[in-house]
């Protein structure tokens, strides 16, 4: 079969895009690349940057996808419905060996095993009739962006990355050239457990020397977008000298003030950054550069569990033609999604292009330094106050400690909120030693005089199972007060043991909620949980103690 190249979705004139001459260029160059990589070009049909409509058709025809009542494509990722951190590895080679933070997060893989898995992925892709290619960018700032190529067997995965990467213009696509990073996604096919270094049939691996990623044995689409983030979390500091952030970001419509929201999965980055009073720069991955802030991605990946038009209208309305709903249960007659049904997983998701959010800042970058940093934590112990103001030392301390919980479903095997210390609020994606990100953050915060807030979107009035999660409306009121300046001007009291400054009053938020010692009915139980959590902080922070200033070490909880 002759390989063909389909026009990019943004192209206005299909007829022109099928013009033979412009196509032959692409085919010539791509043929060479794909043949060299081992693709059987006589057998497979390559679909490069295929139109959304045709990806819909293929996903429906070949993968059991369904069109939802609002036009989104409902897909299923199979057995894995969250990330597989235990099966994630980085290749140990001369460029990575002295840079990477090796340890429990970054498991070593040898170069030969990578080649075996890469070949296995390509062999699998060669058994398919259709192989999808999506070429796009990561990073909205042309100075710091990279070109990413995704090669996969499912139309669903191609559409997912069409939504999550930055979509090139027709001209950019024609002149795309060699990609900087390639993802081979053969997720339907297992890794061979007898291959040296494999511990299961799932394998997600990055090779920084080859600048390639191979996925076997998991079809969870989120692995690809977080793979791109891991690469940027490496390249931005190492190659460009810029700070990559696992954060969302938005900018004030009136005064152009920029806010970064750090947070591990499920803490509220996506939910809280979609704010009708502000323009959305991005919901998950950014770079704080010398000149401002830019988004790494071209789309958002929202959790849809218990989603409602009333509570989260921007996200609810982004679920339409072109969006992908992942593992969402739907009514088989009406095709209406049931966001309350967690029968498949609690980690139900929707991936949509960022322009589906009405007040998105496009291009997704600003030439302004941040004014506020919000560190989101989801405290399952119900101990931390819903908001506290951090000193620069406390900011460094909490960033390194990264205390929060893993939310159900996002990682394989996590069934209820599990307290965790996720350094830099991005442990599953961290590549370099945490101190490197923390130093850059502290330096930038000091240089630009940024205010920092710790916001607990987790439990209040009792621990998980007893208290309740901080109602979203109060968290939104708190975030509004950060932006209006009302919080900066508030009166503060000290929250003992943790030494945190908490506002004594804030309009729209009940007084007893602001101070957890008032919210807990059982004071003795509260004190015990405070001490328990403080002890956990101290234990977790021991890892970083030697590398930080005395002042930062003392900024943590004191028993």
Ligand X SMILES: C=C(OP(=O)(O)O)C(=O)O
Ligand Y SMILES: Nc1ncnc2c1ncn2[C@@H]1O[C@H](COP(=O)(O)OP(=O)(O)O)[C@@H](O)[C@H]1O
Give the active site residues: 83, 226, 246, 265, 269-270, 284, 349
Contact window for ligand Y (CB under 6 A) among 107-115, 116-124, 327-335, 470-478: 470-478
Classify burial at 115, counting beta carbons within 10 Å of its beta carbon; exposed 0-12, middle 13-18, buried 19 or more: middle
Question: How far is the CA of 47 from the CAs of 54, 134, 152, 405, 465, in angstroms?
Answer: 10, 8, 10, 40, 49
- 457 contact, one of Mn ion, ligand Y, ligand X, none, CB 5-8 Å limit per kind: ligand Y
Q: Dihedral through CA 260, CA 515, CA 264, CA 143, nearest 10?
A: 10
Tokens representing 434 are 């945490």
Distance CA 42, CA 527 (A): 70
Min separation Cβ 164 and ligand X, Å: 10
CB 296 within 8 A of CB 285: yes
Nearer to Mn ion, 162 or 270 (CB): 270
Distance CA 425, CA 126 (A): 39
Q: Which of 188, 230, 236, 267 binds ligand Y (CB under 6 A)?
A: 267
Check residue 163 for interaction with Mn ion (CB under 5 A): no
- 222 contact, one of Mn ion, ligand X, ligand Y, none, CB 5-8 Å limit per kind: ligand X
3-state secondary structure string across 314-327: HHHHCCCCCCEEEC
Nearer to ligand Y, 122 or 350 (CB): 350
Q: Mask 147-176, x = binds ligand Y (CB under 6 A)?
A: ------------------------------
Distance CA 52, CA 69 (A): 17
Distance CA 34, CA 48 (A): 12
Contact window for ligand Y (CB under 6 A) among 264-272, 366-374, 533-541, 551-559: 264-272
Min separation Cβ 22 and ligand X, Å: 36
Min separation Cβ 304 and ligand Y, Å: 8
- 272 contact, one of ligand Y, Mn ion, ligand X, none, CB 5-8 Å limit per kind: ligand Y
Neighbours of 336 (CB within 10 A): 12
Q: Which of residues 269-308 bind ligand Y (CB under 6 A)?
A: 269-272, 283, 302-303, 305
Q: Dihedral through CA 478, CA 480, CA 481, CA 482, nearest 10?
A: 90
Nearer to ligand Y, 68 or 271 (CB): 271
Check residue 266 for interaction with ligand X (CB under 6 A): yes
Neighbours of 347 (CB within 10 A): 26
Q: Which of residues 439-468 bind ligand Y (CB under 6 A)?
A: 457
Q: Among all chains, which residue has been given the structure tokens 């819909």?
A: 56
Check residue 122 for interaction with ligand Y (CB under 6 A): no
Nearer to Mn ion, 293 or 500 (CB): 293
Min separation Cβ 332 and ligand Y, Å: 25
- 335 contact, one of ligand X, Mn ion, ligand Y, none, CB 5-8 Å limit per kind: none
Rg value, the chain, Cα = 23
Distance CA 254, CA 262 (A): 23
Tokens representing 458 are 């987790």
Nearer to ligand X, 7 or 266 (CB): 266
Nearest residue to ligand Y, scored by beta-carbon proximity: 268
Contact window for ligand Y (CB under 6 A) among 3-11, 267-275, 352-360, 424-432: 267-275
Nearer to ligand X, 49 or 162 (CB): 162
Closest CA to 146 of 30, 39, 279, 238: 238
Min separation Cβ 454 and ligand X, Å: 18
Q: Mask 194-213, x = binds ligand X (CB under 6 A)?
A: --------------------
Q: What are residue 36's phi and psi, to 5 degrees?
A: -60, -35
Closest CA to 236 of 522, 371, 516, 429: 429
Nearer to ligand Y, 117 or 265 (CB): 265
Distance CA 242, CA 232 (A): 10
Min separation Cβ 83 and ligand X, Å: 4
Which residues does residue 204 pair with via DSSP β-bridges, in sequence order?
A: 88, 215
Closest CA to 533 of 419, 427, 456, 371: 419
CB 165 within 8 A of CB 148: yes
Min separation Cβ 338 and ligand Y, Å: 15
Q: Among all chains, which residue has been given the structure tokens 């301390």?
A: 397
Q: Mask 390-419, x = binds ligand X (CB under 6 A)?
A: --------------------x---------
Q: Which of 268, 370, 382, 428 binds ligand Y (CB under 6 A)?
A: 268
Check residue 270 for interaction with Mn ion (CB under 5 A): yes
CB 219 within 8 A of CB 77: yes
Q: Which of 475, 483, 529, 548 binds ligand Y (CB under 6 A)?
A: 475
Nearer to ligand Y, 340 or 443 (CB): 340
Min separation Cβ 537 and ligand X, Å: 22
Distance CA 224, CA 148 (A): 11
CB 395 within 8 A of CB 373: yes
Q: Which of residues 268-307 bind ligand X (CB under 6 A)?
A: 269, 284, 301
- 226 contact, one of ligand Y, Mn ion, ligand X, none, CB 5-8 Å limit per kind: ligand X
- 472 contact, one of Mn ion, ligand Y, ligand X, none, CB 5-8 Å limit per kind: ligand Y
Distance CA 369, CA 445 (A): 9
Binding residues vs ligand Y (CB under 6 A): 263, 265-272, 283, 302-303, 305, 457, 469-470, 472, 475
Binding residues vs ligand X (CB under 6 A): 83, 222, 226, 265-266, 269, 284, 301, 410
């Amino acid at each position: 079969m002759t390989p063909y190249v389909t026009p990019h979705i943004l192209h206005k004139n299909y007829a022109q895009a099928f013009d033979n001459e412009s196509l032959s260029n692409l085919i010539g160059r791509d043929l060479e690349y794909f043949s060299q990589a081992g693709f059987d070009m006589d057998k497979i049909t390559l679909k490069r940057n295929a139109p959304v409509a045709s990806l819909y058709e293929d996903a429906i025809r070949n993968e059991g996808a369904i069109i939802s009542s609002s036009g989104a494509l409902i897909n299923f990722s199979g057995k894995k419905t969250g990330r597989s951190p235990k099966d994630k590895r980085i290749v140990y080679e001369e460029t990575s060996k002295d840079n990477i933070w090796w340890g429990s997060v970054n498991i070593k893989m040898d170069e030969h095993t990578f080649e075996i898995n890469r070949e296995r992925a390509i062999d699998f892709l060669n058994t398919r009739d259709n192989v999808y290619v999506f070429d796009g960018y990561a990073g909205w700032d042309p100075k710091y962006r990279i070109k990413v190529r995704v090669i996969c067997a499912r139309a669903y995965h191609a559409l997912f990355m069409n939504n999550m990467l930055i979509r090139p213009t027709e001209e950019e696509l024609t002149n795309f050239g060699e990609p900087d990073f390639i993802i081979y996604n053969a997720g339907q096919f297992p890794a061979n457990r007898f291959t040296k270094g494999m511990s299961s049939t799932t394998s997600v691996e990055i090779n920084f020397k080859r600048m390639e990623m191979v996925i076997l044995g998991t079809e969870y689409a989120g692995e690809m977008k977080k793979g791109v983030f891991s690469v940027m979390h490496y390249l931005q500091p190492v190659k460009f000298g810029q700070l990559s952030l696992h954060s969302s970001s938005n900018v004030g419509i009136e005064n152009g003030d920029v806010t970064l929201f750090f947070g591990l999965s499920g803490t509220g980055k996506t939910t809280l950054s979609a704010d009708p009073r502000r323009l959305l720069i991005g919901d998950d991955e950014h770079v704080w550069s010398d000149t401002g802030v830019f988004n790494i991605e071209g789309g958002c990946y929202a959790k849809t569990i218990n989603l409602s038009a009333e509570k989260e209208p921007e996200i609810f309305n982004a679920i339409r033609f072109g969006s992908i709903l992942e593992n969402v249960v739907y009514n088989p007659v009406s095709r209406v999604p049931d966001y309350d049904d967690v029968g498949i997983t609690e980690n139900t998701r929707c991936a949509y292009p960022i322009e589906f959010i009405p007040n998105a800042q496009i291009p997704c970058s600003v030439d302004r330094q941040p004014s506020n940093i919000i560190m989101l934590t989801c405290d399952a112990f119900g101990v931390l106050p819903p908001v506290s103001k951090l000193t620069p030392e406390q900011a460094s301390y909490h960033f390194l400690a990264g205390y929060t919980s893993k939310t159900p479903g996002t990682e394989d095997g996590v069934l209820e909120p599990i307290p965790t210390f996720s350094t830099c609020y991005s442990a599953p994606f961290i590549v370099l030693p945490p101190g490197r990100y923390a130093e850059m953050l502290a330096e930038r915060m000091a240089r630009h005089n940024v205010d920092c807030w710790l916001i607990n979107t987790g439990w209040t009035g009792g621990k998980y199972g007893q208290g309740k999660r901080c109602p979203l409306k109060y968290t939104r009121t708190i975030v509004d007060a950060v932006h209006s300046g009302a919080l900066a001007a508030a009166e503060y009291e000290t929250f003992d043991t943790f030494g945190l400054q908490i506002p004594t009053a804030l309009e729209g938020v009940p007084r007893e909620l602001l101070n957890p010692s008032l919210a807990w009915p059982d004071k003795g139980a509260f004190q015990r949980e405070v001490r328990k959590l403080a002890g956990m902080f101290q234990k977790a922070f021991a890892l970083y103690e030697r590398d930080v200033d005395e002042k930062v070490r003392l900024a943590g909880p004191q028993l």
